[in-house]
Amino acid sequence: MRNYMKTHTGLTVIIAAAILLQGISAMQYYYTRSLLADELEKRAESELSVKAVIVKNSLNMSENSLIDHIWNLKRNIIHPDSSYQVMEWVLRSHPNLTGCWVAFVPDYFPERGRLFEPFAWWENGTIKKAEIAAEGRDYTQNRYYKTVYANDAPMWTEAYREVLTDMNLVTYIVPIHDSKDNIIAMFGLDMSVDQMGDTLNYRHIYPSSYNFLLTETGQLLAGPKHKSDKEKAKMEHVINMINDSTVEKSLSNSGRSSVFPMKDADGDEGMVFYADLKGEPKWKIAVVCYDKEVYAKLTKMRRTMGLMTLLALLVLGLIIARFAKNDRKLQKAKVEQERIGSELRIATNIQKEMLPKTFPPYPERNDIDIYGMLIPAREVGGDIYDFFLRDEKLFFCIGDVSGKGVPSAMVMAMIHSLFRMASAHESNPARIMQTINETSCEGNESNMFVTLFIGVLDLPTGHLRYCDAGHDAPFILSEKGKVNSEKYATAIDVQPNLPVGVFDDFTYSMQETQIAPESTIILYTDGLTEAKRAPKQMFGLQRTEEVLSKCALQHLMPRQVLEAISEEVRTFVGDAEQSDDLTMLAIRYTPQRFETTLAETLVLKNDVHEVTRFSNFMKSVTEKLGIEKSLAHQLRLAVEEAVVNVIDYAYPIGTEGDITVKMMSNSHTLRFQIIDSGVAFDPTMKEKADTTLSAEDRQIGGLGILLVRELMDSINYERMDGKNVLTLIKHIKQTGYEHNN
């Protein structure tokens, strides 16, 4: 829909631009056309006047040829034939003249009859002479003769076609007077107007335009030499239109010229301009111009403009398309960004899910209280903390992956999995670290490393084993000041092992310490000590120690301690941007005293046959405690399996050793301890048998530890003072009998 709208808008813009450009083009066209029309009128009018002058000059020259010879004629008039010589002179004075004559009034030369008309004319390059009245032509009846005679003034005749020579001729007639001013003859000359047509069309204002001359009555006098009848017909059509006075229209700038539009047989449009010649004869001169030539440049311009408009629209279209494409790209990038953003949010959640997030994590226990906090500097962080309980041991770690963002987060996730996997069957933090290091060094192309602290706190004893791989040493808070007589917060001693991920063959060393009751272990990443409010102004170790001491003195619980620290950091940093993940883990250890109500001890030799003694011991103990048969059965089985395990493995074959079984009970707990001084052996690291396999696949081993784990509530192994101590605990409901009484 969005794209459709975009395309739609693009189309609208193109259409609008097309209309605008067309409008501009049309305006320009009509403006230019009217300019060209004005120009045409001016040119046509000037053409008409120039050509009129040419015609007039030609006529005047002919008139003057005749007038110039009037005195010669009069001087020689005494002899009838003397006029031939004058006529010859006249004919030779101008090339347009075809003939010359004198028509004497009747009976002027009686000896030559009533009428006498000598005539000289050009024929095949020579001048011929003859008296033509003798042929019976009565020139006195000619209307021109009569007119000139009556008006006693020279005149031009209308054009006529001379059949003999096939020429269009006009004749100029001048009356000749004697000394008494009586008319004695008419002196006339014939002029060809055919040449005049050539003269008029010698040059045109436009190549295909043409000029022509019309007589008073609208007869064609002289025009272009048309090659075809069709062209002649076209001209005839124009002449008819001129003669039809209704079409004419006067030109504005002069009263003499007229103009009208025309369309010829071929459909070619044009304009006809015509004007009257000044004075006599009353001829009309016309010029015809064709639009296609007048507006040829305009048409060309219009075509060019059209092409340019198309080109402009095309370019505009391309620009719009490009914009739309860019817009789509932008839209796509935005979607992509949103996708990455949402994936990052999911990654943040996954990372959060990975870490323990329920606090307090073990509400049923009163010996530990834990609180953890991870404030990432970005959506995903490279810090990690984790903890879990296994066999009455608290496994915990804190780490800081080099770098920040997604790559660090991925390494962090890997370290998290490795920590869980490596510590599933291993309670030695150095060996757990070793496993994590070896695995994470494999294919560590990006050379990322992790500072990591792993601790294993034995909850029954408070014995802490730990391994530090280049991480900041945790603090121990002791409100009683027992850790150090002067300090309430002390960093524990750590050996500088290499961070994880550097060398796969590095050997990590384990350290041990005893955690006093009511102490709190504080683990943190350098996001705490290196929290900056300005470059080189860091929260620092000293400030950390001070804050922690204060917390210890105030008997703060883990959650309160971490909130107090983060508040201090927030105050210290102020508005500065958080530069690194801030991660902290606080573990408070509060072991409970075991109020024993019954304690029994049995010492066995490492011999399977001793099991019979053990069986009797168990029967006696459960009987004393009033434990019902099924539970007694379960307790006996679990403890027997543990004891047999020790008998089988604690001492080398052939050597004798003691195995002590201690039973302690209070109102709700049964605690069995199996103690031997044999080789260090942790049965909790033994894998349980897989109970889902078929008979063929089932292995003989692993059943003992499986039964111990299934039947008891907890199992704990500790090597103490050169002895293996295995503690099994079963929580019992107070029996109905005891409870009710």
Partner 1 sequence: MNTTIEEIDGKYYATLNGEMDTAAALEAEEVLKPLYQSNGKDVIIDCTDLEYIASSGLRILLSILKGAKASGSKVVMKGVNDDIKNVFKLTGFISIFEFE
Work out whether 683 is an interface residue with partner 1 (CB under 8 A). no
Nearest to partner 1 of 462, 702 (CB atom): 702
Candidates 76-84, 427-435, 502-510, 611-619; binding stretch for partner 1 (CB under 8 A): 611-619
Strands (E), 296-392: 368-375, 383-390
Between 106 and 702, name the residue whose CB sits nearer to partner 1: 702
In the complex, the smallest distance separating the C-beta of residue 460 from partner 1, rounded to whole angstroms, is 25
d(CA 116, CA 402): 141
Question: Which parts of 149-208 interact with partner 1 (CB under 8 A)?
Answer: none
Give the integer Cα–Cα distance in Å for 233 and 191: 26
When asked if residue 615 is in the footprint of partner 1 (CB under 8 A), the reply is yes
603 CB-near residues (< 8 Å, 6+ apart): 658, 659, 660, 661
Query: Which one of the spans 449-457, 493-501, 556-564, 629-637 is the region binding partner 1 (CB under 8 A)?
Result: 629-637
Binder among 608, 679, 680, 720 for partner 1 (CB under 8 A): 608
Q: Which CB atom, from 447 or from 612, has the smaller least distance to partner 1? A: 612
Pick from 141, 246, 571, 692: which binds partner 1 (CB under 8 A)?
A: 692
- Residue 563 pairs in a beta bridge with none
Gap between the Cα atoms of 436 and 401, Å rounded: 13
Shortest distance (Å) from residue 612 CB to partner 1: 5
In terms of C-beta density within 10 A (0-12 exposed, 13-18 middle, 19 or more buried), how is residue 512 classed?
exposed
User: Judged by CB under 8 A, which of 143, 700, 722, 733 binds partner 1?
Assistant: 700
What residues contact residue 441 under an 8 Å CB cut-off, 6+ apart?
501, 502, 503, 504
d(CA 305, CA 300): 8
- Joined together, the tokens standing for residue 453 give 């602290």
Orientation of helix 83-93 relative to helix 2-68, angle to 10°: 150
Per CB under 8 A, the list member of 354, 375, 706, 729 interacting with partner 1 is 706
Nearer to partner 1, 101 or 617 (CB): 617
Minimum CB distance to partner 1, residue 521 (Å): 36
Task: Supply the minimum distance, in Å, between the C-beta of residue 656 and partner 1.
Answer: 17
β partners of residue 718: 725
Query: Strand 489-491 relative to strand 155-156: parallel, antiparallel, unpaired?
Result: unpaired
- Whichever of 587 and 642 has its CB closer to partner 1, that residue is 642
Selected binder of partner 1 within 280, 545, 610, 658 (CB under 8 A): 610
620 binds partner 1 (CB under 8 A): no
DSSP 8-state symbol, 656: -
Q: Which is nearer to partner 1, 451 or 606 (CB)?
A: 606
**Does residue 314 interact with partner 1 by CB under 8 A?**
no
Write down the least CB distance from residue 678 to partner 1, Å. Answer: 18
**Which one of 144-152, 193-201, 694-702, 732-740 is the stretch in contact with partner 1 (CB under 8 A)?**
694-702
For residue 114, the 8-state DSSP code is S
* 703 is a site residue for partner 1 (CB under 8 A): yes
Which lies closer to partner 1 via its Cβ, residue 342 or residue 691?
691
Q: How far is the CA of 500 from the CAs of 236, 401, 463, in angstroms?
A: 113, 9, 25
The minimum distance between CB 686 and partner 1, in angstroms, equals 13
Select the span of 101-109, 310-318, 507-515, 603-611 touching partner 1 (CB under 8 A). Answer: 603-611
Any contact of residue 707 with partner 1 (CB under 8 A)? yes
The count of residues interacting with partner 1 (CB under 8 A) is 32
* Closest approach of partner 1 to the CB of residue 718, in Å: 24
Nearer to partner 1, 256 or 613 (CB): 613
| CB nearer partner 1, residue 131 or residue 610 | 610
Name the token pair of 417: 């999995």
**Residue 640 in contact with partner 1, rule: CB under 8 A:** yes
Q: Is 732 in the site for partner 1 (CB under 8 A)?
A: no
Pick from 571, 696, 722, 740 the residue near partner 1 by CB under 8 A.
696
Report the phi/psi class of residue 279: left, alpha or beta, with left for phi > 0 and alpha for psi in -120 to 50: left
Region of 409-417, 577-585, 632-640, 678-686 interacting with partner 1 (CB under 8 A): 632-640
Specify the 3-state DSSP secondary structure of 630.
helix
Q: Cα-Cα-Cα-Cα dihedral of 671, 676, 680, 682, to 10°?
A: -30
Position 644 contacts partner 1 (CB under 8 A): yes
Contact call for residue 704 and partner 1 (CB under 8 A): yes
* Residue 655 makes contact with partner 1 by CB under 8 A: no
Residue 677 main-chain phi, psi, to 5 deg: -110, 30
515-523, 547-555, 558-566, 704-712 -> range binding partner 1 (CB under 8 A): 704-712
Q: Name, in order, each residue with C-beta under 8 angstroms of 80's C-beta and a sequence gap of 6 or more.
A: 109, 111, 112, 116, 118
Residue 12 CB neighbours (<10 A) = 11
- Pick from 445, 448, 385, 447: nearest CA to 420: 385
Does residue 50 interact with partner 1 by CB under 8 A?
no
Q: What is the CA radius of gyration of the chain?
A: 67
* Residue 691 in the binding site for partner 1 (CB under 8 A): yes
Question: Based on CB atoms, which residue is closest to partner 1, 36 or 644?
Answer: 644
Strand (E) positions, 251-401? 257-263, 269-276, 284-290, 368-375, 383-390, 393-401
Establish if 609 lies at the interface with partner 1 (CB under 8 A): yes
Rank residues 145 and 614 by Cβ distance to partner 1 and give the closer one: 614
> Measured between alpha carbons, how far is 114 from 133 in angstroms, rounded to an integer?
9
Question: How far apart, in whole angstroms, are the C-alpha atoms of residue 637 and residue 634?
Answer: 5
Options 160-168, 191-199, 480-488, 628-636: segment touching partner 1 (CB under 8 A)? 628-636
* Of positions 443, 695, 721, 739, contacts partner 1 by CB under 8 A: 695
Helix (H, G, I), strand (E, B) or coil at 428: coil
Report, in Å, the least distance between residue 600 CB and partner 1. 18
For residue 250, what are its two tokens?
């006067």
Options 636, 671, 686, 730; binder of partner 1; rule CB under 8 A = 636
Q: Which of 180, 227, 593, 629 binds partner 1 (CB under 8 A)?
A: 629
Binds partner 1 (CB under 8 A): choice among 40, 59, 87, 711 = 711
Helix (H) or strand (E) holding 62: helix 2-68
- The label of the residue with tokens 């347009």 reads 96
Given 132, 247, 441, 689, the residue binding partner 1 (CB under 8 A): 689
- What gap in Å lies between CA 554 and CA 69, rounded to an integer? 153
Cα→Cα distances 295→23, 207, 303, 659, 678, Å: 19, 13, 12, 127, 123
**Residue 593 — φ and ψ, nearest 5°?**
-70, 140
| Gap between the Cα atoms of 614 and 333, Å rounded | 75
Residues that bind partner 1 (CB under 8 A): 608-612, 614-615, 629-630, 633-634, 636-637, 640-641, 644, 689-696, 698, 700, 703-704, 706-707, 710-711
